[in-house]
Amino acid sequence: MVTSNAIVINFKGGIISPGYLKEVLLLAKEARVENLRFGLRQQLLLDIPLKYFPDFANACKEKGILFYNKKEALPNIVSSYPADGIFTSNSWLKEGVYKDIFDLFDYEPQLKINICDKNQRFVLFFTGHLNWVSSPTAHFWYLYIRFPHSRAIYCWPELIYTNDIANLSKVLEKLILNPTNEEANGNIFYQIIKRNKKSHYTTKAIEEQLSIPKFSLSYYEGFNKSESSYWLGIYRRDELFSLKFLLEACEICLATRVGEIYTTSWKSLIIKGIDPGQRHYWDFILGKFRINVRHAANELNWQIEDNKEALILKRIIIRYFDKEDVRTFGLCFAIQTKPLFNMFASIVIRKSNLKNLNRLKSLDRYDILYENSFNPNGAGLTLFREKVEKNFIGPYLVSLCKMFYERESDGNLLTEDNTQTAYSEQPLQEEKYIHQCKHCLTVYDETEENTSGESYIGKSFEELPQNYTCPLCDSGKGDFIRIKQEQLEFVEIDSK
């Protein structure tokens, strides 16, 4: 039974005025809201009890507070601005440039738009549909288009001037969302816009390919020194922030002239510019509300959908990581439960699209995929395991972590510079797959003559008869698992 209305309030670029947030919180308090959450796209998520929703909606309208029903919400503009000055430096992209861009958007985008500094490692670059990334030349930007419900990325052939970002985004949105355009084709859209004189914009030739920093998520919790002040990062394990705590946080910001609070794409908050002499105010309310700010790094590097199912699965995996003392630095993980919702991470746990509508939750299965370079900003995913039970996800993820660190340790660190990866649209190399018995680990390699029956030599695994059995343990054909050849070194798990 539905007892509340889920709503979304967008904060453009992840910037919140403490005074504005206080107004929202006071209205939510009147509606008997006790806790709230922040979403993947730096927005505020509220559940308003149905009984109080009409009064809440009217009060928001009077105060000019725009909100959306969650199912109809427009995507917020995401930016790396929260990282400015604490996780990025030596960049021409500063506070004033970010805010100038935000002010140019005179419409509410229906497509996801990301605005990111090319040097930062805090916000994933391509989680938007229109992904603007700063170039080495001041005030010129790369544009990467990812079409809805797709991972395919098109690189715009020119750099775009800062002042044209909003207008070109608006034009592209109309083209991409136009139902008469049967095929999402970046080259065609580029030609259409170039022929349209009304769509004039300032450009510059791309002189060097975008180089994406090697992923390494900065620790974004707790008190941290930044020049002559502190910044504070707050993450909540259950994603719930106490309304009373946030109200007091707003009061402290207003009293100490902290002008902005920042939401992040990791569902956390960052508060910058805390004067050392005023830090004790924050220590006080963290203690008052029993807020822990030193969680393990393997709990902070997650991108999960804004729903309870994904959060519960994350908790199960985290408990396994803690038990096995797993290192995950340099990786990030994502959980995807909705078929049309693309998640970006080093490793993605995706709910299998099984069609039995009467299935129990205990029968849910998940596919495990990983980005080929383990960079969450990379172009493609490779299947590692499919239709995995919840209880076996943890061990398989440990295997992938092992694969990542073995790759990282290849070569000589002192002679190789591997800190950045050039982003390209090159097609993925074809991977070699084999089939392995999950009981005795015997391999049927469809390219090698290693089977016991000569009549099978040269046949693919799919061509084998249904009564084929393992030559070592007599297990049936259905007990063979399809895996990449390079994964043979990992221990297989019997799921019986």
| CATH of residue 466 | 2.20.28.10
Last residue of some domain: 155, 184, 213? Answer: 213
pLDDT at 212: 83
Domain CATH code at residue 332:
3.30.413.10
Q: Total domain count for the chain?
A: 4
Is there a single domain that holds both residue 274 and residue 202? no
Q: pLDDT exceeding 90 applies to what percent of the chain?
A: 65
Mean pLDDT score, 173-188: 83
Name which residue leads in pLDDT, 31 or 339: 31
pLDDT of residue 439: 77
Whether 209 and 229 share a structural domain: no
pLDDT at 83 over 70: yes
pLDDT exceeds cutoff 80 at 379? no
Tell me: do 133 and 208 sit in the same domain. Answer: yes
Average pLDDT over residues 233-255: 97
Q: Tell me what pLDDT residue 495 has.
A: 39
C-alpha span between 253 and 273 (Å, rounded): 10
- Note whether 394 and 473 are same-domain residues: no
* 331 Cβ neighbours under 8 A, 6+ residues apart: 215, 301, 346, 347, 374, 401, 404
126 is a domain residue: yes
Angle between helices 186-195 and 165-177 (to 10 degrees): 120
> What pLDDT score was predicted for residue 229?
93
pLDDT the model gives residue 226:
86
> Given 297, 320, 338, which residue is the final one in a domain?
297
Beta-carbon count within 10 A of 197 CB: 6
**How does residue 474 score in pLDDT terms, banded at 50, 70 and 90?**
confident
The reply to whether 415 falls in a domain is no
> What is the DSSP secondary structure assignment for residue 378, as one 8-state letter?
S
Instruction: Establish if 81 belongs to a structural domain.
Output: no
Q: Taking residues 29-36, what's their average pLDDT? A: 97
Residues 368 and 442 in one domain: no
Q: What is the mean pLDDT of residues 68-81?
A: 95
Is 1 inside any structural domain?
no
- Say which DSSP state 84 is in: B
Angle at 256 between CA 251 and CA 259, to 5 degrees: 80
> Do 169 and 137 share a domain, yes or no?
yes
Task: Annotate 168-213 with three-state secondary structure.
Answer: HHHHHHHHHHCCCCCCCCHHHHHHHHHHCHHHCCCEEECCCCCEEE
What average pLDDT does the segment 302-320 reach? 93
Name the domain boundary from 268, 297, 326: 297
Residue 256 lies in a domain: yes
Whole-number Å distance between alpha carbons of 419 and 399: 24
Per-residue pLDDT tens digits for 109-167? 999 999 999 999 999 999 999 999 999 999 999 999 999 888 888 999 999 999 999 99
Confidence band for 494, pLDDT divided at 50, 70 and 90: very low
Q: Which domain holds residue 161?
A: 88-213
Q: Are residues 96 and 164 in the same domain?
A: yes
Residue 367 and residue 273 in one domain:
no
| In a domain? residue 47 | no
Is 253 within the bounds of a domain?
Answer: yes
Same domain, 92 and 209: yes
Residue 168 has pLDDT above 50, yes or no: yes
DSSP string, 97-143: HHHHHHHH--S--SS-EEEE-TT-SSS-TTSSSEEEEE-SSTTEEEE
**pLDDT above 90: residue 77:** yes
Work out the pLDDT band at 465, boundaries 50, 70, 90.
confident
Co-location of 104 and 206 in the same domain: yes
383-435 tens-digit pLDDT = 999 999 999 999 999 999 999 999 887 755 555 555 555 555 443 334 456 78
Whether 203 and 229 map to the same domain: the answer is no
CA distance 186 to 228: 46
Amino acid making up residue 260: E
| One domain for residues 263 and 206 | no
pLDDT-derived band at 199, boundaries 50, 70, 90:
confident
CATH number of the domain enclosing 226: 3.90.480.10
Residue 276: inside a domain, yes or no?
yes
Do 486 and 450 contact (CB within 8 A), yes or no?
no
